[in-house]
Amino acid sequence: MPRIEIDGQELEVSAGTTIMEAATQLGIYIPFFCYHPKLSVAANCRMCLVDVEKQAKPLPACATPASDGMKISTSSRRARMAQQGVLEFLLINHPLDCPICDQGGECPLQDVTMGYANPHSLYTEEKRVVEDKDIGPLIATEMTRCIQCTRCVRFGQEIGGIMELGATGRGEKMAIGTYVGRAVRSELSGNMIDLCPVGALTSKPFRYRARSWELKHTPSLCPHCSTGCSTDVQSLGREVLRVTPRINEAVNEEWICDRGRFAYAGLGASDRITRPLLRVNGRLQEVSWAEALDAAAAGLEQVLAENGPDSVSGVISPQSTNEELFLFQGLLRGLGVQAIEHRLRQTDFRADAAMPLYPALNMSLEHLEGESLVFLCHAYPREQQPLTNHRLRKSVLAGGQVWAVDSVRREFNYPVHGLVAEAGQDAALYRTLARCVQGLAEEDGAGLPAEVLEAACALRDAADPLLLVGSGVLQHPGAAGLMAAIAELAEAAGARVGWLAEAANSAGAWLLGCVPGRLPGGVPAGTDSRPPAGGAWDARFRAWILMGVEPGLDAMAAVQARQSLADARFVLTISAFLGEAEAYADVVLPMAVWAESAGSYFNNEGRLQSFRAAVKASGEARPAWKILRVLADHLQVADLAFDDLDSVRSAWETRLGDFPLDVPAFGGFPEGLALMEGAGSPGEGCRILGDWSIYQGDPLVRRSVPLQQPAGCRLHPETAARQGLRDGDMVELQGPGGQGTQLPLALDAGVAPGAIWLSLGHPGTQALGGVGATVVLARAGVSAGAQA
C-alpha cells in the first residue's frame, strides 16, 4: 500500500491508484479534460500535469500510478506553469464563441480557463477551422471547438459498444467524425454530449433553446423502461428543454439511453390535449371539466346498469405510477369491474397462474455485471432496457458469456451467441435445449444443430447460469407454452431465472393489482376473474376505460382492439395525447404527462423510486391520480378520497405490505398446456415476427420527432428470393382483415426462413395482425437500387 503526499496531505492508497484518483480521495482538484473515471486513460490532453518530487518532468496525474513515497504538488510553480502552458495550447485554436455556445455555463474548458489561463495569449496566427459534420438528428457538432480529448471516441468503443465516432487524420489535422458523415445510431449516443468537455458535441433538439444557467433542474426518473434510470429534467417555464442523467451508481451509473434523453421532445406534440373533450353529435368538442366528468360518470353508469360490470374493461399503461395504478384498480374494482389489464402486448393468458408476484430481475443490476453465463430468453435488452443491457455487456467484457435465444437474430453491442428458433418453433427450441441439458451424458444429440448442442453444453457446464425472460416471451402468441418450456429448461439446467420487465412500472402494475385475478400484493381476486380469451379487447366488453394507452399502436392485438373500441357503447380515454382516441372515445380527460406529475415506480429490481413534477401541466390537464380520485367521487366509489399523493402512497404501501424482492420466477402451469406453435406455412404467406423498436414503444417516445425512424420489414434472403423480392424493394403486405400496407424491405439472414420481421407500433404494421399472424406479400414498387 503506497503512502504518498499530495500538497502536503498524506494518504495511503491501494496499489495501482493513480495520482488523480488519490487526489480525488483527498478532495484536491486537478484540472483535466480527457480523463473520465468510466473510460480508459488516454493521457492525451496533458491538462492534469502535476509536479512530482525528484521527477525531471511534470507527470499526468490521470495516468501516473502513485508509488510509495511520492511527493506530489498540484499547484507548485512548476505544476502551474505546465497546466497554464497546456491550457494556452488548447485555447489557441479554440473559437472564442462562448456567448453563442450551448455548452456555455457548463463547460469544463471555460471553467478551467477562468482558473488557470494566462490572460494574454501570445498566439497571433490564424485559428484553425474544422469542417462540421451532420451526424444525425440528435447530436449537433461544432468541430472547430473540439479539443481532441477523444472521450467521445472512447465512449463509443468502451461503453456504447459500437464504434461510430473516430478521430481521423493526424497531427493538427486530427478531427472527430463518423464514417463519411454517417448518422450515429447507438442507442447510447447522447451520453457523448455529456462527456464532451466543450461545445463540440451538443444536443441538437436543445440547440439554442436556452442558456444552461436559466434552466431549472428537477431530479426525476426515466419512464421508458424497467431499469428506472435517474434523470435530471431541465426546464424553462412550462417547457422541458433537456433531460440528462443523474449519477446513480446502483442503477444507471451516469448514463441514460437516447430514448430517455430525447423522448421529452414528444411533450409538445400537436395532438397534446389540454382541455376535456366530449363527443357531441359524433364529434369531439372541448368542454369544461365538470361537463366531461359528468358525461364520463353517466356513460359508465349506463353501461354498468344495462350490461353489468363484466361488460367493462379497464386498460392502464404500465408506465403509470404506483399511485395511478393503485387508484385505477381501486376505482374499477369499486365498480365491480374485474377486467383490469396493463399487458397490452400479451395475447396468451393461459399461464397467468404461473406468473410471479411481479416480473423481478431477482438480483441487483450491479450483480448482473458479475454473471458468467446468461441466457437471454426472447429478450432484447439492448433496445428494451438499454442500461440493463450495459451491465450484461460489462459481464461479457469481464469474460462472461451471453446467449440469446430468440425467434430472430438481434444485433447486440457485445459478442453474443445467438440461437434462432425456426419459424414458429420457439417453445420447441427451449424444450430441445432442456432435453439436451438433461440427457447429454447418455445421448449424443445426433441430428441437432451444433449451436444447440453448444448452448446445451454451456448451460450444463456452467456453475450458476442465469436465464433472463424477456418481453418476447409474453408477446408470443403461445406465451404460456413458451414460459412452461423455459421453466423446464431452468429446472433442467439448475438455472436461476429473472424477468426483464417490459415497461417502466410493469412491476408496480403486478404488485398493485392491475391484472385480472390479482389484487394489490398479489392476493387472488377470486376464480371468475381470469381474462376472457380475447383479453382486454374481448367482444364481451361494451365499455372501456383507457388510461395512457393507444391500443391501436400499443396493443399486440391492435386489429381486434380497434374493432372492439369502434363497436363500443362507451369509451372513456384518460390521456395526454388525442391520437387514435379521436376515432372512438366518447369522453377524453386530459392528463398531465410524465414531467408534469409526480409519483413512484418499482423498477426491475423491485427498487422503489419516486419523482416530482418538473413543470406545470399543460392547459387544463390534471395529474392522472387526481382525475381517478375525482372520477371515484363522481361514481361514488368509496375509500379513494385521498387529499394528496402522499396519502395515496401510504394507502398502497399499507395494502401491499412487505414483499420479497426476489420471488419465484414461475408458479404452477396448468396441465396439458398446448404449445400453440407451427401456424402458418411459408407457402401461403409469412409468419409475423416483430417488436416495438426502442423509439416506438409508448405514446411519448413515438411523438419525439428526432427519434423517429421509419417502419420497415425484414426477410431472410431465401424467403425474399422465393417471392421475387430484393433488398430495398417496397413490399405490399396484406393482413387478415385485408388491410394493406407498404414497407421497405431489408434482407436479413437473422430472420427465420418463412417469417417476416416487422417494426411494430406503426399504424401500418399494427393493422396486420400481430406476432404469429400470417401476411401475404407482394412487390409494390421497384427500388432505385433494383433499377440500376
Partner 1 sequence: MYVNGVTLRNRGLPDSHRIGVYRQTGGYGALAKVLQGPMSPDQIISEMKLSALRGRGGAGFPTGLKWSFMPKGVAGTKYLLCNADEGEPGTCKDRDIMRYEPHRLIEGMIIGAYAMGARSGYIYIRGEFVEPIRTVEAAIDEAYAAGLLGERILGTDFSFDLAVHRGAGAYICGEETALMESLEGKKGQPRFKPPFPASYGLYGQPTTINNVETFASVPDIVLHGGEWFLKLGKPNNGGTKIFSVTGHVRNPGNFEVPMGTPFRDLLGMAGGLHPGRRLKAVIPGGTSTAMVAGDAMMELAMDYDSISKAGSALGAGSVIVIDDSVCIVRVVERIARFYMHESCGQCTPCREGMGWLWRVLHRIENGQGREPDLDLLQNVGSRIEGRTICALADGGVAPVVSSLRLFPEEYEHHIRQGSCLVTDSRSVA
Partner 2 sequence: MLSEASLAEIARERAKYPPERARSALLAALRIAQAEHGYLPETLVEYVAGLLELPAIQAFEVATFYSMYDLRPVGKYKFCVCGSVSCFLNGSDGILAHLQERLGVGLGETTPDGLFTIAEVECLGACKDAPVMQLGDRYVETLTPESLDVLIGQLRGGRDDVR
Number of H helices, E strands in the chain: 24, 34
Residue 156 C-beta: closest distance to ligand FES, Å: 18
Residue 32 interface partner, choices ligand FES, partner 2, ligand SF4, none, CB cut-off 5-8 Å depending on type: ligand FES
Cα(644)–Cα(240) distance, integer angstroms:
24
Cα(450)–Cα(54) distance, integer angstroms:
61
Residue 727 C-beta: closest distance to partner 2, Å: 16
Task: Please calculate the CA angle 583-589-590 and round it to the nearest 5 degrees.
Answer: 100
Q: Are 680 and 238 in contact (CB under 8 A)?
A: no
Binding mask 553-582 for partner 1 (x = CB under 8 A): ------------------------------
Cα(572)–Cα(383) distance, integer angstroms:
32
Residue numbers 646-675 binding partner 2 by CB under 8 A = none
Please classify residue 524 by burial: count the beta carbons closer than 10 Å to its beta carbon, then call 0-12 exposed, 13-18 middle and 19+ buried: exposed
Minimum CB distance to ligand FES smaller for 157 or for 734: 157
Q: How many residues bind ligand FES (CB under 6 A)?
A: 12
Residue numbers 135-194 binding ligand SF4 by CB under 6 A = 146-152, 176
Residue 150 interface partner, choices partner 2, ligand FES, ligand SF4, none, CB cut-off 5-8 Å depending on type: ligand SF4
* Site stretch for partner 2 (CB under 8 A), options 164-172, 438-446, 513-521, 701-709: 164-172
Instruction: Give the containing element (helix H, strand E) for 595.
Output: none
* Site stretch for partner 2 (CB under 8 A), options 9-17, 156-164, 722-730, 735-743: 156-164
Cα(262)–Cα(194) distance, integer angstroms:
13
Q: Are 30 and 59 in contact (CB under 8 A)?
A: no
CA-to-CA separations, 462 to 25, 439, 481, 494, 578, in angstroms, rounded: 39, 16, 25, 9, 51
Cα(733)–Cα(743) distance, integer angstroms:
8
- For 62-107, the three-class secondary structure string (H helix, E strand, C coil) is CCCECCCCCEEECCCHHHHHHHHHHHHHHHHCCCCCHHHCCCCCCC
Q: List the one residue from 9, 24, 25, 43 that touches ligand FES (CB under 6 A).
A: 43
Residue 149 C-beta: closest distance to ligand SF4, Å: 4
Binding mask 48-77 for partner 1 (x = CB under 8 A): -x------xxx-x--x-x------------
- Nearest Cα neighbor of 224 from 209, 243, 240, 206 is 243
Does 148 sit near partner 1 (CB under 8 A)?
Answer: yes
Residue numbers 76-105 binding partner 1 by CB under 8 A = 82, 85-86, 88-90, 92-93
Q: List the one residue from 20, 200, 332, 436 that touches ligand SF4 (CB under 6 A).
A: 200
Minimum CB distance to partner 2 smaller for 182 or for 207: 182
Residue 151 interface partner, choices partner 2, partner 1, ligand SF4, none, CB cut-off 5-8 Å depending on type: ligand SF4
Does 165 sit near ligand FES (CB under 6 A)?
Answer: no
The letter for the amino acid at 438 is Q
Residue numbers 533-562 binding ligand FES by CB under 6 A = none
Minimum CB distance to partner 2 smaller for 149 or for 760: 149
Residue 36 C-beta: closest distance to ligand FES, Å: 9
Residue 169 C-beta: closest distance to partner 2, Å: 5
Residue 150 C-beta: closest distance to ligand SF4, Å: 5
Residue numbers 61-100 binding ligand FES by CB under 6 A = 62
Residue 112 interface partner, choices ligand FES, partner 1, partner 2, none, CB cut-off 5-8 Å depending on type: none
- For 709-761, the three-class secondary structure string (H helix, E strand, C coil) is CCCCEEECHHHHHHCCCCCCCEEEEECCCCCEEEEEEEECCCECCCEEEEEEC
Residue numbers 13-32 binding ligand FES by CB under 6 A = 32
Residue numbers 332-391 binding partner 1 by CB under 8 A = none
Quote the cell numbers at residue 103: 455548452
543 forms beta bridges with: 312, 570
Residue numbers 272-291 binding ligand FES by CB under 6 A = none
Binding mask 643-682 for ligand SF4 (x = CB under 6 A): ----------------------------------------
Does 52 sit near ligand FES (CB under 6 A)?
Answer: no
Strand 59-60's sheet: what is its strand order?
9-12, 3-6, 71-73, 49-52, 59-60
Residue 714 C-beta: closest distance to ligand SF4, Å: 33
Q: Tell me if residue 54 falls in helix, strand or coil.
A: coil
The count of residues in the chain is 788
Instruction: Quickly tell me which residue has 416506438 as its cell.
Output: 696
Residue 162 interface partner, choices partner 2, partner 1, ligand SF4, none, CB cut-off 5-8 Å depending on type: partner 2
Q: List the one residue from 79, 196, 295, 339 that touches ligand SF4 (CB under 6 A).
A: 196
Beta strands in 603-729 (DSSP E): 608-611, 686-692, 713-715
Minimum CB distance to partner 1 smaller for 64 or for 704: 64
Residue 32 C-beta: closest distance to ligand FES, Å: 3
Strand 401-406's sheet: what is its strand order?
417-420, 401-406, 373-377, 466-469, 496-499
Residue 91 C-beta: closest distance to partner 1, Å: 9
Does 165 sit near partner 2 (CB under 8 A)?
Answer: yes
Minimum CB distance to partner 1 smaller for 169 or for 664: 169
Q: Are 732 and 588 in contact (CB under 8 A)?
A: no
Residue 196 interface partner, choices ligand SF4, partner 1, ligand FES, none, CB cut-off 5-8 Å depending on type: ligand SF4
Q: List the one residue from 201, 715, 755, 773 that touches ligand SF4 (CB under 6 A).
A: 201
Task: Please calculate the CA angle 190-193-195 and round it to the nearest 5 degrees.
Answer: 115
Q: Tell me if residue 531 falls in helix, strand or coil.
A: coil
Contacts with 254 (C-beta within 8 Å, 6 or more apart), sequence order:
38, 194, 245, 247, 248
Binding site for partner 2 (CB under 8 A): 162-170, 178-180, 182
Binding site for ligand FES (CB under 6 A): 32-35, 43-48, 60, 62
Binding site for ligand SF4 (CB under 6 A): 146-152, 176, 195-198, 200-201
Binding site for partner 1 (CB under 8 A): 41-47, 49, 56-58, 60, 63, 65, 82, 85-86, 88-90, 92-93, 122-123, 125, 147-148, 150, 167, 169-174
